[in-house]
Amino acid sequence: MTNTFTITLAQLNPTVGDVTGNAAKARAARDKAKADGADLLVLPELFICGYPPEDLVLKPAFQAACRAAVEELARETAGGGPAVLIGTPWVEDGKLYNACALLDEGRIAALRFKANLPNYGVFDEKRLFARGPAAGPVTVKGIRVGVPICEDIWLEESEEYENVVECLAETGAEILVVPNGSPYARDKNDLRLSIAVARVTESGLPLVYLNQIGGQDELVFDGASFALNADLSVAAQLPAFEESIATLRWTKGTDGWRCSGLAVPLVEGDKGDYAACVLGLRDYVRKNGFPGVLLGISGGIDSALCAAIAVDALGADQVRGVMLPFRFTAQVSLDDAAKLAKALGIRYEVLPIADAVNGFEKILSGPFAGLPRDITEENLQARARGTLLMAISNKTGAMVVTTGNKSEMSVGYATLYGDMNGGFNPIKDIYKTEVFRLSSLRNEWKPDGALGPSGEVIPANIITRPPTAELRENQTDQDSLPPYEMLDAILERLVEREEPLATIIAAGFPADVVTRIDRLLNVAEYKRRQAAPGVKVTEKNFGRDRRYPITNRFRDSGTALPAPDEKLVARAGRASADVFDG
């Protein structure tokens, strides 16, 4: 009887569509697993194609490339060494599955298909994949290993849900190995752990949870893989936001399989959000082949935080800052922008935009003749800046980093075809109050692997002085918006919780302010649809994206919701309903 079982976890960063590169990563991981004497190497969900592949996975040529790569990896196991469990799309009997293939002894020894398909946000897998059956375990070196895939352990109370873990326990699984593609969100680690604890409690089996890392468009996968013993003790905890290959040695006793492995502290909370922004920007730039980035440096806190994130992600030599002053730009903004650039060590230049703005105004003097001056002329500043930044981008190939925070983007306090457009926005999902917190945090702490300097990189004056915005010439944002603490609290209730206005007002927020913020949120929908992509850090974005119609006349009045009148509803009895359905 085998009393030891060694599993190597490859918490790696695949690239969607790079089948050859992902296969090379798998080979290198297998070499490490072989050197460690592993019996099994585990790779994340859909690793060979990258996750999530979205509609790319529907292309027959892509499906064929993935299968060919998996077959080649399978052949390479003929000479001995660890078996490989790798995620791949798989076509069987004309149906496309989200699969895990077990590669061993020169062949594809087993296949397992994902049974429970997520259908929210970008994870609309029901339109891509067929549902797999709840199947029994696979056998690796004589050990029966259950392979639920990601959503297969997230118990859902519905008629469609297959209890895969229960099936595996009933059919003799000895240990559960769960390949995942689970994106980062604040406090997500606690949620994952609670789900895993529930499955271990129900099945009585130890569980290995392997998650990928890396940025993919707006998603960031944080890794943070772990393993639990059957008694719920933590057998291993891998780091977050970095690639890690770890080998866990399991021993079998009278109470089943058990492991005492490594455990590292996790980066969570504000530190987790900052690390996610860094990783998301780094992978967006590198995986899309940009040679570097540039951004407008205003002397304000949003661009300062984005500049720090960019330097931490890419290094100072790949970041270019441009100050684009106009006549309303305060000297303090010019001074703070220069100090920021020096502290970060980035290339920095000042390009006054008066000639561009005046030129636009001169060109428009005819069409605008007889019309009063208003916000239109003021927005020419932002549009001139956007045009100039995009021109530098076109000439150099560097990607424009957009710097709008979630608070102001939510209510339309950004200029379309100007300061809200660009290649990518690392703080798109960060409220203004957190922008201040993250800026202070970065001056005290630098993430592991960050390429920027240590110590104070954002001048203290940028954090402490009142925010200014040339969107309203020399006024502050808060001359027309409520204080950010109030604005963010209202937006969190409207956007993340979708609370009725009456509930928010009852919680103590001024009715006129709540109503105004709700109106601004609704009328800015068309702007948000055209904004640059950016890192997602809130769980709301994965449960159900905010997809409100642009053309929409409904407005919450802010009054108490009317109670439904159940007396008006005729309800069929169960027997008559059955007769009708049959």
State yes or no: is 114 an active-site residue: yes
Is pTM beyond 0.95? Reply is: no
pLDDT average, residue stretch 259-277: 89
pLDDT average, residue stretch 533-539: 85
pLDDT at 511 over 90: yes
269 marked ligand binding residue: no
Q: Are residues 313 and 450 in the same domain?
A: yes
CA distances from 278 to 42, 312, 569 (A): 27, 7, 54
- Which residue in the list 114, 406, 428, 446 is annotated as catalytic? 114
State whether residue 571 is helix, strand or coil: coil
Would you tell me how many other CB atoms lie within 10 Å of the CB of residue 306?
Answer: 29
Does 556 reside within a domain? no
The tally of domains found in the chain comes to 2
Quote the CA–CA distance of 165 and 200 in Å, as a whole number.
Answer: 9
For the chain, helix (H) and strand (E) counts, in that order, are 18, 21
Per-residue pLDDT at 576: 55
Q: Are residues 162 and 285 in the same domain?
A: no
Q: Are residues 198 and 255 in the same domain?
A: yes
pLDDT digits (tens, 9 = 90+) for 344-381: 999 999 999 999 999 999 999 999 998 998 888 888 88
298 marked ligand binding residue: yes
pLDDT at 581 over 80: no
Per-residue pLDDT at 157: 58
pLDDT at 540 over 70: no
Phi-psi region of 54 (alpha: psi -120 to 50; beta: other; left: phi over 0): left
301 marked ligand binding residue: yes
Q: Are residues 335 and 207 in the same domain?
A: no
Per-residue pLDDT at 575: 57
State yes or no: is 45 an active-site residue: yes
Does 232 reside within a domain? yes
Q: Are residues 116 and 146 in the same domain?
A: yes
Average pLDDT of the chain is 89
Does 563 reside within a domain? no
List the CATH number of the domain containing 69: 3.60.110.10
Q: Do 324 and 380 touch, CB atoms closer than 8 A?
A: no
List the CATH number of the domain containing 403: 3.40.50.620
Look at residues 215, 237, 266 and tell me which one is the last residue of a structural domain.
266
Quote the CA–CA distance of 275 and 40 in Å, as a whole number.
Answer: 31
Q: Are residues 257 and 335 in the same domain?
A: no
Structural domain that includes position 22: 4-266
296 marked ligand binding residue: yes
143 marked ligand binding residue: no
- Which residue in the list 25, 45, 277, 428 is annotated as catalytic? 45
Q: Are residues 91 and 230 in the same domain?
A: yes
Q: Are residues 196 and 330 in the same domain?
A: no
Question: Token pair for residue 238?
Answer: 């891998």
94 pLDDT band, cuts 50/70/90, is: very high
1 pLDDT band, cuts 50/70/90, is: low
pLDDT digits (tens, 9 = 90+) for 500-510: 999 999 999 99
Does 93 reside within a domain? yes
Q: Do 534 and 310 touch, CB atoms closer than 8 A?
A: no
pLDDT digits (tens, 9 = 90+) for 241-263: 999 999 999 999 888 889 887 78
Q: Are residues 81 and 9 in the same domain?
A: yes
CA-based nearest residue to 246, from 283, 211, 206, 276: 211
Q: In what helix (H) or strand (E) does residue 192 lie, and over which residues does it extend?
A: helix 188-203
pLDDT digits (tens, 9 = 90+) for 33-75: 999 999 999 999 999 999 999 899 999 999 999 999 999 999 9
- Which residue in the list 49, 66, 100, 150 is annotated as catalytic? 150
Q: Which of 103-112, 319-328, 358-367, 532-541 has the lowest mean pLDDT?
A: 532-541
572 pLDDT band, cuts 50/70/90, is: low
475 pLDDT band, cuts 50/70/90, is: very low
Q: Which of 6-15, 116-125, 283-292, 520-529 has the lowest mean pLDDT?
A: 116-125
Q: Which residues contact 331 (CB under 8 A, 6 or more apart)?
A: none
State yes or no: is 342 an active-site residue: no
Per-residue pLDDT at 417: 75
Task: Count Cβ neighbours within 10 Å for each residue of 28-38 and write b for 16 or more, e otherwise.
Answer: ebbebbeebeb
Does 564 reside within a domain? no
Does 173 reside within a domain? yes
CA distances from 260 to 202, 240, 249, 250 (A): 22, 20, 8, 8
Q: Are residues 340 and 456 in the same domain?
A: yes
Look at residues 198, 232, 266 and tell me which one is the last residue of a structural domain.
266
β-pairing, 83-92 vs 40-42, is parallel
Does 570 reside within a domain? no
120 marked ligand binding residue: yes
Dihedral angle sign, alpha carbons of residues 525, 530, 532, 533: positive
pLDDT at 579 over 70: no
Look at residues 203, 235, 266 and tell me which one is the last residue of a structural domain.
266
Q: Are residues 289 and 362 in the same domain?
A: yes
Per-residue pLDDT at 471: 38
297 marked ligand binding residue: yes
Quote the CA–CA distance of 100 and 108 in Å, as a whole number.
Answer: 10
Quote the CA–CA distance of 488 and 466 in Å, as a whole number.
Answer: 17
Phi, psi for residue 122 in degrees, rounded to 5: -80, -10
Quote the CA–CA distance of 240 and 276 in Å, as a whole number.
Answer: 10
Q: Are residues 253 and 345 in the same domain?
A: no
484 marked ligand binding residue: no
Per-residue pLDDT at 573: 63
158 marked ligand binding residue: no
300 marked ligand binding residue: yes
pLDDT digits (tens, 9 = 90+) for 97-114: 999 999 999 999 999 999
88 marked ligand binding residue: no
Per-residue pLDDT at 414: 80
Does 518 reside within a domain? no
Name the residue with higher pLDDT: 121 or 227.
227
188 marked ligand binding residue: yes
pLDDT average, residue stretch 409-424: 81
Per-residue pLDDT at 122: 67
